[in-house]
Amino acid sequence: MRYRRLGSSDLEVSEISLGSWLTYGGGVSDAQAEACVRKAFEVGINFFDTANVYSRGGAEEFLGNQLAQRPRDSYVLATKLYFPMNGDRGLSREQVLKQIDASLARLRTDYVDLYQCHRYDFDTPLEETMEALTEVVRQGKVRHLGFSEWTADQIEAALALVPRVEKFSSSQPQYSLLYRVPEREVIPLCKENGISQIVWSPLAQGTLTGKYRPGEEPAQGTRAASSQMGWSMDRFRDDDVLEAVQQLVPVAEGLGITMAQLALAWVLRKENVASAIIGASRPEQVEENAAASGIALDHAILEAIDDAVGDVVVR
């Protein structure tokens, strides 16, 4: 496993990290989830992403129980706030102070390495949010700050408040070879300002593994077949997308790597992407995906990828 520095922070994160949306404390059994976390440590993953809202606190509780057995400096822990939790929501000072304490209790730790705004809060002045986040950093409950799915304007507005407030270290956008919107504005702006990307759904929720075939029902046991989780995948289930993804099979085979590894190496080709946050329902997936770290794709391969999927990419 290789590691990259997170923005201008002192955090070194594994190029492949393990997330917990729809999976841990929820859709995946605890035994399988525990095996995934164990495998993650075995293959050198040191970076774990969660959120207060995942399984309504269940994902944080699950991770807290797993991580409490390990030295605190052996992992980098990221969580988020914003989405509704038992009547609470948003990024007001009151919410920041309340949600960080609730997350720390569930995560069984005194601090998180990265505290992220899950979305932008239009109902709270940005200054109030940034001052509250700065307060929890100064209290030692949070080491570094991040945001998820903020626009370039919102990021610039937060940067304009520095150094009065703490500076963001990370941006968490959806990014994959099928969904490239961050390339337009967010990645160039962040690169200029020492903010790294940690990207979500780099496998388009499993679509880029090639396991979903056009015109066929998804196999039992996959996310797309799950009544609990399949709702989230609609946009990746169109036959034209699935047909394009099948065109990547010979590209991966030619390199002697798997489709998942090809898709992960593709997001990591950008220096500004510090980590690809994978989801995993089985330890074998963790092992396969972790092996994408260190795979370099040359210009001809990047062109072959664009030839295969160019028409269905969201830009």
Instruction: Give residues in contact with ligand NAP (CB under 6 A).
Output: 19-21, 23, 49, 148-149, 172, 200-206, 209, 211, 222-223, 260, 277-281, 285, 288-289
User: In sequence order, which residues have a C-beta less than 8 Å from that of residue 18 and are 6 or more positions away?
Assistant: 36, 37, 40, 45, 47, 48, 49, 277, 278, 279, 280, 286
DSSP labels, 160-190: TTTTTSPPEEEE--B-BTTB-GGGTTHHHHH
- Residue with smaller CB distance to ligand NAP, 20 or 169: 20
Handedness of CA 60, 51, 259, 255 (dihedral sign): negative
CA dist 96 and 165 (Å) reads: 15
Least Å distance, CB 263 to ligand NAP, is: 8
Closer to ligand NAP by Cβ: residue 117 or 301? 117
**Choice between 84 and 164, CB closer to ligand NAP:** 84
d(CA 58, CA 28): 12
Backbone phi and psi for residue 248, each to the nearest 5 degrees, phi listed first: -85, -15
CB of 51 vs ligand NAP, minimal distance in Å: 7
- Find the shortest distance in angstroms from Cβ 99 to ligand NAP: 15
Closer residue to ligand NAP (CB): 140 or 221? 221
Q: What is the dihedral of CA 177, 267, 212, 22, to 10 degrees?
A: -120
Distance, first Cα to last Cα, the chain: 30
Task: Please confirm, yes or no, whether 212 is among the known catalytic residues.
Answer: no
Burial class (CB in 10 A: 0-12, 13-18, 19+), 5: middle
- Candidates 3, 24, 54, 75; catalytic one: 54
In angstroms, rounded to a whole number, what is the distance separating the alpha carbons of residues 62 and 34?
A: 9
Residues in the chain: 315
- Identity of the residue, 5 or 211, whose beta carbon is nearer to ligand NAP in the bound complex: 211
The nearest distance, CB 83 to ligand NAP, in angstroms, is 9
Q: Could you give the residue numbers annotated as active site?
A: 54
